[in-house]
Amino acid sequence: MAEPLKNFFSGQLVRRLAESLSRVHPSFPSAAFVRRASAGLEALELIDRGKHIAAALGDALPADYPQAVDVLVRSLGAERVGEEGPAGMEPFFYLPHTIFIADRGVPHFDVSLKAQAELTKRFTCEFSIRPFIAAEPERTLAALKRFARDENAHVRRLASEGTRLRLPWGARVKWLDAHPEAVLELLELLRDDPSEMVRRSVANNLNDLGKVHPKLLYATCKRWLNVQRRPLIEHALRSAVKRGEREALTLLGYGQKPQVELGRVRFEPPKPKIGEKVRVHFALKSRAAKAQELLVDVAVHFVKASGKTAPKVFKLDRVTLSPKAEVELDVLVSLQVLTTRKPNPGRHPVDVLINGVKHTAGAFHVR
């Protein structure tokens, strides 16, 4: 079994952090910091470990905030090379830095924004920017407009990712919910960004927008849609498509009601164990006199710990189905135990979604 992610924040990391700070600030109290940051660390979960280390930083760094941030920024390692950067948890080394700025930096706006522009080149500041938006929205959005024109793709991405209305694990910012037009002004600057990473962030931001302001999402996607932006729009509408919203399907060209017959459904194996995989196989046969453009997904209703079920939609395929033709499709569903989902035994119903229309496929039984 993989080691828990929280274990990255260990005594070894605390010592590494102390060394990086001592190199640029010789009077940094390394021994006291290591004791304070390591005490009780193992009993905490991932984010709480980051907060615990950040609190220890606050005790050890200079009491003057601008001086403290100057030490942090001078201690930073090399910027990420390319868009993805190092794999795994290594960028999380800077999580305590971002928490320190989020907790203490709002009264020192300019210093903090400049520091985040540097930090986000190593580890995303999408979470630490949100207290600044909440406290001084217009001022922060003006700064993010400058970030959106930065030569560094990670800085440009911060302008989009940090303003998501429903950023995963991020605190809600009521001002963003109430002023989506301000967010769209930023996205307009980034929608044709040369970086795929940035464009994907724009799509994620739009996807969030649709959860709060669906009419604005559709109006924006309709206005933006062209051949070049189609991948961005498809990603922006993915949640709406999974929900079977007709306007999203129509916008992407899958609004017609499918004339198909679902058949030859089988589950391999029909009674998988937790930890295994099950293949869902089926055939679609056309009942139409002309070709059909079909968007095909599979919804598996996973059994929750309570015994109730909740659907998870798996993107499958786009099919141009000729008159009276037939196509066979399949998808592999994992029943592995993950930090985000733990499978449970029981009957798992399966639906095939064709242009948003549900077709019952049967069920497999997890042992």
Question: Tens digit of pLDDT per residue, the chain (367 long)?
Answer: 457 889 999 999 999 999 999 999 999 999 999 999 999 999 999 999 999 999 999 999 999 999 999 999 999 999 988 776 555 789 999 999 999 999 999 999 999 999 999 999 999 999 999 999 999 999 999 999 999 999 999 999 999 999 999 999 999 999 999 999 999 999 999 999 999 999 999 999 999 999 999 999 999 999 999 999 999 999 999 999 988 899 999 999 999 999 999 999 999 999 999 999 999 999 999 999 999 999 999 999 999 999 999 999 999 999 999 999 999 999 999 999 886 778 999 999 999 999 999 999 999 999 9
Q: Which of 84, 165, 151, 184 is nearest to 124 (CA)?
A: 84
Sheet holding 357-366, edge to edge: 309-321, 292-303, 346-354, 357-366
* Domain residue limits, the chain: 5-251, 260-366
For the segment(s) 260-366, the CATH number from 3.90.600.10, 2.60.40.10, 3.30.230.30, 2.40.50.100 is 2.60.40.10
Distance CA 350, CA 280 (A): 9
Q: Does the predicted TM-score (pTM) go above 0.75? A: yes
Q: Do 5-251 and 260-366 agree at the fold level? A: no
Fold that domain 5-251 belongs to in CATH: 1.25.40
Contact 51, 99 (CB under 8 A): yes
The first and second tokens of residue 34, run together, are 């290591």
